Amino acid sequence: MTLPAPTKLFISAIVLLLTATSQQIQAEQAIKLLSFEQAIDPQQINATNSQLSISDQQAKFGQHSLKWQFNANSELSLYKPIGFKRFQPNAKKQARHTFMTWLYNETPIKDKLTFQFAKNQQVAASFEVNLDFQGWRAIAVPFETDMQGQPHEGMNQLTIKAPATIAANATGTLYLDLMALSIPVDPRWPTPDFQVPHVNKPIMARANAHWGALLSYDAWQQQFEQQPHASPSSAELAAIAQITTRIDQDILNSFNSSLNKNGKVKERAKHKTRKALRSQQLNLVSGKYAENTLNRGEERYFTDSGQLKPIQMGRQLEVYKKAAVNKQQWQSLNKETVKFRQVARHLLQLARAYRLTKPAHMKAKVKKQFTSLVAHMYQQGYVRGSAVGIMHHQGYSMREWSKALFLGREMLTPELLKDSQQAIAWLTGLGRIFRPEQENNGFNVDVMNTFLPGMLMSIVMQSKQELKVAYLRALSQWMSYSMLAIKGLSGGIQPDGSFYHHAQHYVAYGNGGLNGLTPVVYYLSHTPFALSDDAYLRLRHGVMMTRIFSNGLKAPISLAGRHPEKYEEITLAPFKYLSLMGDKKVASAYLRLANIDTDKLKNKAISITPEATPNGAWVVNYSSLAIQRRNDWLATARGFSRYLVGNESYADANHFGRYMNYGHVEILPSAAQDGGYQEAGWDWNRWPGTTTVHLPLDLLAANIYQVDQYSGVEEMLLSTQSYSGANQLDQQNAMFAMKLEGHAKYNDDLTANKSVFFFDNRMVALGSNISNSNRHYPTETTLFQQSISEDQPSFIGTQAITGNNTNKRTQLNADSFYLDTLNNAYFIPKGQAVLFARQHQQSLENERKQPTEGDFASLVLSHGKAPQNASYQYAVLIDSTPTEAQSFHQQLGSKTPPYQVLQQDKHAHIVHDKATDITGYALFSSNQQLADSLIAANDTPIMVMAQVKTSAASPAKQSEQASVLKLAVTDPDLNLYQGIDVNQVGADGKQKEVSIYSTKWRHNQPQAKTIQLTLNGLWQGQGEDYQVLSHHNNQTVLAVTSIAATPVQIQLTQI
């Protein structure tokens, strides 16, 4: 019996939900947090040589904590099952059971507490905590990796031992709260600090070192401060004032800015009258804004009794949620605790209010609340030396905090100012700028985005001018070096303009990185601390490339990473900051993208005009991406390889993204119109251009787990193939090709050779050797899938089709053509099976797998079930009309068609375009014989684009014509490693899943390769990356040196 599609989808959804529920029930063994709200039960808690009480003087959770007044050798014991569980190596997650608690110390003691865990009075595991602090601190100490001894699952006693020696007649007082005796925690997260420096020793080798290696960064920083430093020059001292002013003005200007997060003009700001703007300014100056801000602060951050509420970062609270603590406790904790970022935003509003408010009495009130909150945050543990147990992704909570403390520095006492400067330096990891250069692999985008502005602000807040200048020199040198130091798949801007994070080109993270980096570059510009020229050119290239791989502001959905909810938009702020530095070329691009009224600029005597929309071809092979632009449209083709991941899926994101880069071809028709992607109702099997096995969603959904302790809970699958990338000739026309391979994790033995050739507004797509053994589900190549309205017509030939109830399967016995709703025409030669549909589709959204639906048009080539050596061919006329499509269709049937496929097999795809006289070659293997008159042989799988033209032989012999051969040669192999990565080979000899973060070759530099290409005919010429080796039997042997899959442009003259 065949089930209808909606029924199948409903069953898939139920299966997914039941599976998730089952896993959740198994994982949830509600962990009880100790909050010490009840009277002490001496059978469970007692102390020797000390006093215990339940106190309301300090609290982190609830209204009370456990107060312990101790003497030398005092002991506090808790008699409860600890709940420790051993780590199971085959578990879906890498979480290790960890002891966590918060401690409030009234007076610093230069000694240590000892925590001992026992089973029936026999100590099994222990660790120490330094007591040289005042205020709240938190610790997170994994049992199996960071404690002394051997923890047992039956442990039932915790004993805390006071130092053996305390000053005569002195006592110590500690408050304990929010204690988790044993809670599963991701092994990357526990963070070493002054209290527990022994925790998480491998953190510098982990992918999250930029968040958590604060202790190492601080040590480098202290070493630097002990070194002698050259005296500041007058220019350097003058620059400090200039930098300070720029930061202040930028923070204040952003408050009144009419730009949204992407730098675009807010709609409501466009319509504000001058009267409304004057009123807004009056509110600021008069103190009304300050009064409103103060009232919000009183409501949100103070209790009814006037006490400040406890503060934690969101990621710290997330630990309890992930560990499935008691639901009621979690809800109470989440409700009672103020998030660090909320307080930071409020502090920034207060700092702005203080700067902009005129009445002295209001300024005094603002200062009082501001300083109270700042001091409270430090009492809560957010100071130098404290990682409060876990520091992970803290930068996202700190961006406003650094700005607030900097802008509000005039309100701080000398002591609070010093604490603030040190706290920012510690929590942003300022000391990272002293990492040895040989260990610097690039510029981490999280650091750019969330830490870098704060790092600069902490330097400028230094009290000593000499040290301030020394830090600024070091920061400038580190930024300049880091910009160019990128190794392999490390973070930063690749030479081709890819913006790298998570070992891939990532538009969303690139936006954040540029939004954090470019203001700092602007602040330092035209001073002795400016970025080096080479580093600036790399930054500028990265910024300008964002406008190339986007149309208007929208980037292709293939670049959405794990967030395919919608088209990601590039950010305009970087263009603004580089324009402020005086870069006229960037400013010209900014004017076009921001659609700024140039008449107003003329009135201000600014003689910069918007650039023309870029046209041409670009290759971004660190992203396996080809780009073709004409008029106002953008077309891209993207793949993946053994170096570049095909997808990024998290437990809460992109569950159905496995096929996202299986040769994904996109056409964005204009700056004002997208390519028809819509998540609601989207068939995740049918990304345009891809060849896939069409699976039910429960089989397509990612099976996500934590591969090892260095990775996150994610899926980022690699191929074993190195052949995937793009080529371009004269930056005018591009091609893309890949050897597609499914992953053995899903028993996916799909293989295919795929290619896409762009010639002006024409695209030719070929597939060959399409094979797999899946006899249950069909293999397909999708030409398009587009969201539609019922009255938007598609065309079969010249026949317009509307509505959403067409589903037509055709075995073509004649060449045919179709038009999508975006005016692109698709030409399909006879002999292929075509599925054309306009229909209502049901699907699941990518994060929570909730049902969605929508209307879509799609065009698909079917290769049947378990195909062996199947193939396809189609062409696209981009931005066409039914009349133009009809004419092109007729030309295809003539004796001189617009293009010819010269070869299409496992060895090569070769296509010749008549109008441009360009031939494109996807050579998937080495070859000794090709169906081509130009290329006779190649010793390496490569891509070639060739064009032969005639020109005068010399000025003296104008009548003699000679042929000039233009070639573009690309070896798409990034060549980060050679041979087989044995760590990706399972016991069965098949590819196994690994974490990209754990691969040993991830930071390797690409290695150059020399290719031998044999051409028919005698040719001469030489360039930096190519030379003629020999002539023999009317053939020319050419040597081409390729590195990092960069196209080599070659020009030869016929002899």
Determine the angle formed by the axes of helices 274-286 and 340-356, rounding to 10 degrees.
100
Helix axes 214-225, 414-427, angle to 10 degrees: 120
1025: number of CA atoms within 13 Å, CB side? Answer: 21
> Among residues 210, 502, 563, 889, which one is catalytic?
502
| Active-site pick, 393, 541, 840, 1031 | 393
Q: 405 is written with which tokens?
A: 């403390």
Q: Nearest-5° angle of CA 222, CA 227, CA 229?
A: 120
Q: Which of 867, 797, 809 is nearest to 834 (CA)?
A: 809
At which residue do the structure tokens 């992203």 appear? Answer: 623
- Catalytic residue (one of 509, 650, 677, 1026): 509
Residue 616: closest CA among 726, 507, 729, 725:
729
Q: What is the DSSP pairing of strand 45-55 with strand 65-79?
A: antiparallel
583-594 exposure pattern, b = at least 16 Cβ within 10 A, e = fewer: beebbbbbbbbb
The reply to whether the predicted model has a pTM over 0.85 is yes
Of 432, 486, 482, 484, the closest CA to residue 454 belongs to 432
Classify 953 as helix, strand or coil: strand
Instruction: Report the DSSP beta bridge partners of residue 1031.
Output: 1036
* Sequence-separated contacts (24+) of 599-603 with Cβ below 8 Å: none
Q: Quick one: residue 470, left, alpha or beta (phi over 0 = left, psi -120 to 50 = alpha)?
A: alpha
- State how far the Cα of 206 lies from the Cα of 187, in Å rounded to an integer: 10
CA 274 to mean position of chain CA atoms: 40
Distance of CA 190 to the CA centre of its chain: 23
- In tens, the pLDDT along 311-359 reads 999 888 999 988 888 899 999 999 999 999 999 999 999 999 999 999 9
Contact assessment for residue 1051 and residue 965, using Cβ atoms and an 8 Å cutoff: yes
Cα–Cα distance between 206 and 198 in angstroms, integer? 16
Q: Where are the alpha helices (DSSP H) in 846-996?
A: 882-892
Alpha-carbon distance of 640 to 662, in angstroms, equals 7
Contact status, residue 688 vs residue 676, Cβ threshold 8 Å: no
The two structure tokens encoding residue 454 = 């704060």
Instruction: Tokens 């209790």: give the residue.
Output: 303
Side-chain-side CA neighbours of 618 within 13 Å: the count stands at 24
Instruction: Give the Cα separation of 189 and 172 in Å (integer).
Output: 30
As annotated, the binding site includes: 35, 37, 64, 177
Q: Could you tell me which of 806, 835, 555 has the C-alpha nearest to residue 675?
A: 555
Asked whether the beta carbons of 959 and 982 are under 8 A apart, the reply is no
Q: Is 989 left (phi over 0), alpha (psi -120 to 50) or beta?
A: left
Query: Hey, is 1024 helix, strand or coil?
Result: coil
CA 299/CA 297 separation, integer angstroms: 5
Residue closest to 608 by CA, chosen among 632, 583, 572? 583
Nearest Cα to Cα of residue 679 among 912, 856, 462? 856
β 625-630/633-638 pair status: antiparallel
Picking from 912, 971, 979, the residue whose alpha carbon sits closest to that of residue 942 is: 971
| Cα distance between residue 115 and residue 103, in whole Å | 13
Instruction: For residue 282, give the 3-state DSSP assignment.
Output: helix
pLDDT value of position 93? 84
Question: How large is the angle between the packed helices 452-460 and 395-407, nearest 10 degrees?
Answer: 30
For the beta carbon of residue 275, count every other beta carbon within 10 angstroms: 8
d(CA 66, CA 52): 7
SS3 (DSSP) at 526: coil
C-alpha gyration radius of the chain: 32
Helix axis angle for 465-484 and 452-460, nearest 10°, is: 160
The yes-or-no answer on residue 509 being catalytic is: yes
Residue ranges of E strands in 772-824: 778-787, 794-796, 799-801, 805-811, 816-819
432: DSSP letter: G
DSSP state of 309: P
The domains located in the chain, with CATH, are: 45-187 (2.60.120.430), 195-228+280-427 (1.50.10.100), 235-272+443-614 (1.50.10.100), 618-1054 (2.70.98.10)
Q: Which residue in this structure is represented by tokens 């003296």?
A: 956
* Helix, strand, coil percentages in the chain from 3-state DSSP, rounded to 5: 30, 30, 40
Which residues, listed in sequence order, are joined to residue 796 by a DSSP beta bridge?
799, 818
Give the DSSP letter string of 962-1028.
Answer: EEEEEEEEE-----SS-S--GGGB-TTSSB----GGG-TTTTPPPPPEEEEEEEES-EE-EETTEEE
**Distance, CA of 384 to CA of 217 (rounded, Å):** 12
Place of tokens 């420096």: 197
**What six digits make up the tokens of 178?**
């929010």
Distance CA 505, CA 609 (A): 31
999 Ramachandran zone, left/alpha/beta (phi>0; psi -120 to 50): beta
Instruction: Quickly tell me which residue has 């599609």 as its tokens.
Output: 5
> Where is the binding site for Ca(2+), in residues?
35, 37, 64, 177
* Cβ atoms within 10 Å, residue 160: 22
- Could you count the other beta carbons within 10 Å of the beta carbon of residue 90? 5
Q: pLDDT of 584-636, one tens digit each?
A: 999 999 999 998 766 655 555 567 899 999 999 999 999 999 999 999 999 99
How is residue 94 annotated by DSSP? -
| Residue 393 is among the residues annotated as catalytic for this protein | yes
CA distance 1055 to 1053: 6
Structure tokens at 831: 């002999």
pLDDT at 529: 99
Rounded CA gap, 435 and 644, in Å? 27
pLDDT of res. 264: 41
Question: Which residues fall within 8 angstroms of residue 821, CB to CB, at 6 or more apart?
Answer: 676, 786, 788, 792, 793, 794, 857
Q: What stretches in the chain show pLDDT beneath 50?
A: 1-28, 258-272, 954-958
Report the amino acid identity of residue 768: S
Rounded Cα distance between 87 and 944, Å, is: 52
pLDDT digits (tens, 9 = 90+) for 717-765: 999 999 999 999 999 999 999 999 999 999 999 999 999 999 999 999 9
* Residue found by looking up tokens 């949204």 in the block: 260
